[in-house]
Amino acid sequence: MQVIIILSTDVSPDIADLILGYKLEGGYSIDYALNSLVSYYKGQEVIIFNFSKYFVLDNRWSGYKIDDYGTKIVINFIKNEKR
């Protein structure tokens, strides 16, 4: 499954500015407890996008790969082979 997050429509303007200004630290990750795509700014976790409106993430069934294309973030969820 692939999720495409468009910065201009899916992310709040202040967070989009941090992304476009290359101010986030350490790349992106999924926080399963928050059900969100997150990164860090000045040592604080920042929620970029919350998936709760659409689905609940569960790391028992899949992994992921995140690519940043400037104005969009693409997340490819990859089914775990053991399941």
DSSP 42: T
Pairwise CA distance, residues 62 & 78, whole Å: 5
Q: What is the pLDDT of residues 33-51, one digit of tens each?
A: 999 999 999 999 999 999 9
44, burial (CB in 10 Å: exposed 0-12, middle 13-18, buried 19+): exposed
Q: What is the pLDDT of residues 56-74, one digit of tens each?
A: 998 888 899 999 999 999 9
Pairwise CA distance, residues 2 & 82, whole Å: 20
73, burial (CB in 10 Å: exposed 0-12, middle 13-18, buried 19+): buried
Which pTM was predicted?
A: 0.91
Q: What residues does each domain of the chain span? A: 2-79
